[in-house]
Structure 1
Amino acid sequence: MNKLPIAVAIPTKNEGLNIAEAVRSVIDHFEAVVVVDSHSADDTAKIAAECGAEVVLYTWDGGHPRKKQWCLDHVRTDLGWILLLDGDERLSPGLLAELREIFADPDSPKPAAYDIPLGYWFSGKRLRHGYTIRKRSLTDRTRCHYPEVGDLDAPGIGEVEGHYQPVAQSTAALRHPIEHQDLDPVTAWFERHNRYSDWEAWLEHHPEVKEQVRRAKSRQGQLFHKAPFKPLVSFLYMYVYRRGFLDGRAGFDFALAMSFYRWQIALKSRERPAG
């Protein structure tokens, strides 16, 4: 079977429970699979290498480019197309078939990037209704870049770009998902989102940077960025409008967790001036 002319870059740090599934989902299908590891304290790099991936160590210098843009600049630059995959993600069979169809003719015109739906798992269950995020994960590196927003001093994010998309000259949407199935306990989800809320609260007090981030988000993200009463709007959108209640207890737990995340941002933002 011919391999897709795409470099898969998997940025990692301490993904020992997840990395094997991520690498196995792509290793036989793509021209290159490279794990870009930030000196993990666990066996992430060792497991990735045993699964057949190339492992590159990454050390952030505190400036730009951050980790994802660094991947676009340095990972297998002989391949024009690059797919960024998180360490707790894996490709679905349907997405692999869709990519083979798109890249069957290497000379056919293509957009600069593809937005891919995310199949999200929470508390061990695949959410079918309440989660509707698309990630701009597949890009032509010669026509895309991550914006250099002015949040290097912000808490909570560090070496990896925040919640915004790479800028692309043109885009198209794919139908089949990347599966986000984190095998870490739900405690890890809350720890991550506690850090993310630090960053979001910092943005509330830096409106110029917040606007830079807003412009680099998806259309859905831009609309929500301006919404009032975000904790309530978030819950009603996911659980009622998007029918998250059909996902049972997991759908309720996820909608509530995301509402709590939005409440954290608002609370930390109100506290920040006093701090």
Structure 2
Amino acid sequence: MSTLPLVVVIPTKNEAENIARTVSSVIGHVEAVVVVDSHSTDDTCKIAARLGAQVVEYTWDGGYPKKKQWCLDRVRPEIPWLLFLDGDETPSPALLDELRSVFAAGPPSVAAFDIPLGYWFAGRRLRHGHTIVKRALLDRTRCHFPEPGDLDAPGMGEQEGHYQPVAPSAARLRSPIEHEDLDPVRTWFDRHNRYSDWEAWLEVNPSVKEEIRRVKTRQGQLFHKAPLKPLMSFAYAYVYRRGFLDGRAGLDYALAMSFYRWQIGLKAREYQRR
């Protein structure tokens, strides 16, 4: 198989630091690479186009569909299978090989694939303290992103929130997507400050929160109802998942995620007082 029969879609906004590596990791391996950009003010689009990616401008109108569903609906619709990559993600060589095996016999029977994420924090690949699986490879004819009623929520804007696309069937791949952000660590905190606004809003809108819980991963559904989330988050990442084996980066990550959960609780309590 010369090229994989899928389109890689990379939603971006100001990813000049990362986009060259992401585009280079897939160009030539798939039928098409499309960067869907939300009016970047840096050189994201120029870099992507120079490397051979198609660049499409995206403007959110404030309603549904949000950005990823818009991509499913409009970006190279003649190619049924679509792989989402963030602007700081690359498929591992092992994943590309695994995808060639998956598509060797023709279109897969399942509608989606869940792919593990190899997560980098503070310059180090976390081998223990972080586990997440992304439903990133989709047959657009059978999958869709939910519309949970969070348009009034702060924090996410044009992006779908922390939930999975809906698929009638899914399988899990073994090899990872590598998530390594080359931006300064302060951008991680900037993003998670916004994300915590959205999560806190869910705490005071329980019907929307419950709808989102149902479209999370099994791990996400369990954690959704856990008490004392900051402490549970730290204990899970650093102790249960043995994040201490990742050295200082493992400790930093466990503390950062615990702080993120504390932010959500604090902001939710502020909402409730209002």
Q: Give aligned-pair identity as a percent.
A: 72
Q: Structure 2: which amino acid aligns with 1:100? A: R
Q: In 1, distance between residues paired with 2:211 and 2:48?
A: 35
Match for residue 68 of structure 1?
A: 68
- 1:87-125 superposed Cα distances (whole Å, 9 cap, x missing partner): 010110000000000101115x42110000000000100
* 2:97 corresponds to 1:97: yes
1:17 to partner: Cα distance: 0.2
Counterpart code for 1:116: I
User: Matched residues in 1 for 2:88 and 2:151: separation?
Assistant: 25
Post-superposition CA distance 1:23-46 (Å, at most 9, x none): 001001000100000010110001
Q: Alpha-carbon deviation of 1:153?
A: 0.8
Instruction: Give the Cα–Cα distance (whole angstroms) in 2 for the partners of residues 138 and 265 of structure 1.
Output: 30
Equivalent residue number for residue 54 of structure 1: 54
Give the distance between the partners of 2:207 and 2:37, measured in 1 at CA: 32
Secondary structure, counterpart of 1:266 in structure 2: helix
Structure 1 residue 272 displacement after superposition: 1.3
Alignment partners' CA distance in 1, 2:177 and 2:272:
39
Secondary structure, aligned partner of 1:212: helix
Whole-Å Cα distance in 1 between the matches of residues 17 and 26 of structure 2?
17
Alignment-derived partner of residue 131 in structure 1:
130
Letter in structure 2 aligned against 1:127:
L
Note if 1:35 corresponds to 2:53.
Answer: no
Task: Determine helix, strand or coil for the equivalent of 1:78.
Answer: coil
Q: How many residues align?
A: 274
> What's 2:2 paired with?
2
Aligned to 2:140: 141
2:79 maps to what in 1? 79
How far the C-alpha of 1:180 sits from its partner, in A, is 0.3
User: Match of 1:172?
Assistant: 171
CA RMSD of aligned residues (A): 0.8
CA distance in 2, matches of 1:191, 1:153: 20
Whole-angstrom distance in 1 between the partners of 2:245 and 2:272:
41
SS of the counterpart of 1:25? helix
Return structure 1 stretches of 4+ with deviation > 3 angstroms. Answer: none
SS at match of 1:167: coil
How far is the alpha carbon of 1:160 from its aligned partner? 0.7
1:242 aligns with 2:241: yes
2:222 is aligned with 1:223: yes
| SS at 1:194 equivalent | helix
- Superposition pairs for residues 251-262 of structure 1, below 5 Å? 251-262=250-261
Shift in Å, 1:274:
3.1
How far 1:82 sits from its partner (Å)? 0.3
Cα offset for 1:127? Answer: 0.3
Q: Which amino acid in 1 is paired with 2:77?
A: T
Q: In the TM superposition, what is the alpha-carbon distance from 1:212 to its structure 2 partner?
A: 1.0
Query: Taking structure 2 as the reference length, what is the TM-score of the superposition?
Result: 0.99
1:184-203 matched pairs, under 5 angstroms = 184-203=183-202
